[in-house]
A and B are shown apart, each in its own frame.
Chain A
Amino acid sequence: MSAATFSGLPLHAWRAAVVVAVFGGWTAVSLADPNMRTVFGDPLLVLAQVKDWIYDGSIFRHLGLTVIEAMLGFVAGSVGGIAVGFLFLFVPALRNLFDPFLAVLAVVPRIVLAPIFMIWFGLGIVSKAALVTLIVFFIVYFNVEAGLRSVQGVLVERARLMGANGLALMREIYLPASLVWLLSSLKVSVGFAFLGAIVAEYLGATAGIGSLIAVAQSQNDPNAVMAGLFAVFLVVVPLDQVLTRIERKTVAWRG
């Protein structure tokens, strides 16, 4: 893909300009009008807030908890989605049984289950991890399922005629075929895992970035809300980069 860009400057310079324009504009607005400043906050105060949190160590406790919740749910949901996807491949009767239920559950916005999970599992880490698990499960399951469905029948028939047994079919055909779908679903899932954890914390928790944001909102403090977002950003972006790199390496055959 050739990079279409504006003339004069390299693309990176233009992108830097966008960042400067956004933050410069934000700073300018908040400096020009104190009313705007109380609504939109001030980038410098956001940074100051982050610095305070780092100094008193609270950010690590909150962020750490959110990361643990998101990752627990991410792992449990991915493993569950992969396991169920493959189970249904080998036992189609189970798939036929559960298909309509999964289809119905898939249209229910999972976030609305957060309150019931809090009643069941309390305000701690379990209710958040459970919600994230459910969110990630559906993303991964549907992608793995689609990946396995995308395997052409003729590829399987040919492999069996060449002497492939069940294990070899799995290793040579089904796993690699679903890998592309799996990796792209994992990438999407990381974002949703944090979304689930933070929203659940926001709805009811004593710690975590979501609760930090909830407190800041109740105090009408836009800087602290923004600082919370910024902290999440610092974790999610590198994670996404890592997954993107793995994905690119694994699907090199696509050219």
Chain B
Amino acid sequence: MSQGKRDSSMMAVEVSNVVHRFESADRSLTVLQDATFEVASGTFVSIVGPSGCGKSTVLRMISGLLPPSAGTIKVRGEVVSGLRTDVGFMFQSDALIPWRTVLENIALPLKFKGANRGVREERARAWIRTVGLAGFEDSYPHQLSGGMRKRVSLACTLVSEPETILMDEPFSALDVQTRNMMENELIGIWARDKRTVLFVTHDLEEAIALSDYVIVLTARPARVKAVHKIELGRPRDILNVRTEQAFHDIYTRLWNDMRDEVRRSYSEEKAP
């Protein structure tokens, strides 16, 4: 497996003065207004912000699914001008192919990238073990629980070993316990080879527990309000870190930033 050049000073993602305007016949809505931030290679960074502030939009623009209305986005130094198939993307929904088994689903990205059958199967099986789904290779998605489907989805995202991984509220549909277990597993997998993760969530606790840095966005039209470095040690046990005093201090600090934005976003949504 190719590790590539992993220069820690290199920026995996650079977002500069990015604007997203939603234009329709009768109105124009600025979702994102002048967002600028960087994600250093090998770090785990979360984006939090009130709902509707364009967190997911940022990820879609980085992956090339959506062109920015203004500004530039670079992935590993290269301006994004089309789909970035080298970037891993984990969607909020599982988006698994219902007529494919677990093994086939996980092998599919490799098939698209032209890997031969032997390689596909070997690597897919390895990832099935990594995410703890051994024995479910031949199951179809509808036969699995929500948590298991998430594991398949995670393996699908990681199987082609992307340098940069974008995650759009991947665990938000899970119950709290399952979510915490999945977060713990994600961090374990991430710690093995420190790929770059940009993780969008509306859950501040989740963001703090997982990340090296947390970017707080303002209410719509969104800007970057603050970037917080999370001074919690690594390796981190997600299941216990929440009880630490340092965690609570950081939480209080970030919540002070976010509270006004959430309030503003909420009152605007209530207004006609």
- Same complex for A and B? Answer yes
A152 interface residue per 8 A CB criterion: yes
CA distance A251 to B84 in the complex (A): 33
Query: Is B83 at the interface (CB under 8 A from chain A)?
Result: yes
- B98 beta carbon closer than 8 Å to chain A: yes
* Cα of A157 to Cα of B166 in the assembled complex, Å: 14
Q: A157-B65, A162-B112, A162-B160 are in contact. Are A173 and B97 (CB under 8 A)?
A: yes
Question: Beta-carbon contacts of B127-162 to A below 8 Å, as 1s and 0s?
Answer: 000000000000010110000000000001000100
How long is the Cα–Cα vector from A177 to B98 in the complex, in angstroms? 9
Residue B113 at the chain A interface, CB threshold 8 Å: yes
One of B63, B95, B108, B142 near A152 (C-beta < 8 A): B95
CB-CB contacts below 8 Å: B63-111 with A? 63, 65, 83-85, 87, 89, 91, 93, 95, 97-101, 108-109, 111
A180 CB to closest chain B CB, in angstroms?
Answer: 8
A233 to chain B, nearest CB (A): 34
Asked whether B85 lies within 8 Å of A253 as measured between CB atoms, the reply is no
Q: Mark A167-201, 1 if CB is under 8 A from B, else 0.
A: 01000110011000000000000000000000000
How far does the alpha carbon of A159 sit from the alpha carbon of B95 in the complex, in Å? 9
Residues of B with C-beta under 8 A to A251: 99
**Contacting pair A161 B93 (CB below 8 A):** no
Decide if A253 touches B95 in the complex (CB within 8 Å): no
**Among A161, A165, A168, A176, contact of B65 (Cβ-Cβ < 8 Å):** A161
Interface of A is mostly: helix
List A contacts of B112 (CB < 8 A).
159, 162-165, 168, 172
Contact-residue bracket for chain A: 20 to 34
B84 contacts which chain A residues (CB < 8 A)? 161
Chain B interface secondary structure, helix, strand, loop or mixed? loop
The one of A155, A163, A177 in contact with B85, judged by C-beta atoms closer than 8 angstroms, is A163
Nearest B residue (CB) for A160: B83
* Cβ distance A208 to chain B, nearest Cβ, rounded Å: 40
Total interface residues on B, CB under 8 Å, equals: 25
Contact B140 A255, beta carbon cutoff 8 Å: yes
Would A255 and B95 count as touching, CB distance under 8 A? no
Is A108's beta carbon under 8 Å from chain B?
no
The reply to whether the CB of A234 lies closer than 8 angstroms to some CB of chain B is no
Q: Give the nearest-CB partner of A168 in chain B.
A: B112
B95 close to A158 (CB less than 8 A): yes
Cα-based distance from A157 to B65 in the complex (angstroms)? 8
How far is A251 from B97 in the complex, measured between Cα atoms in Å?
A: 13
A154 contacts partner chain B, Cβ-Cβ < 8 Å: yes
Known contacts A168-B112, A172-B108, A255-B140; is-contact A161 B87 (Cβ 8 Å): yes
Rounded to whole Å, the gap between the CB of A254 and the closest CB of chain B is 7
- Whether A158 contacts B89 by the Cβ 8 Å rule is yes
Residue of B nearest to A165 (CB): B112
* A173 CA to B96 CA, complexed, in Å: 11
Contact mask A115-152 → B, CB, 8 Å, 1/0? 00000000000000000000000000000000000001
Min distance, Cβ A156 to any Cβ of chain B, angstroms: 9
Q: Which residues of B contact A255 (CB under 8 A)?
A: 140, 142-143
Residues of chain B contacted by A162 (CB below 8 angstroms):
85, 108-109, 112-113, 156, 160
Q: How far is the CB of A201 from chain B (nearest CB, A)?
A: 40
Residue of B nearest to A162 (CB): B109
Q: Which residues of A contact B (CB under 8 A)?
A: 152, 154-155, 157-165, 168, 172-173, 176-177, 251, 253-255
Identify the 5 closest CB pairs spanning chains A and B, nearest first: A162-B109, A163-B85, A163-B112, A253-B99, A154-B95
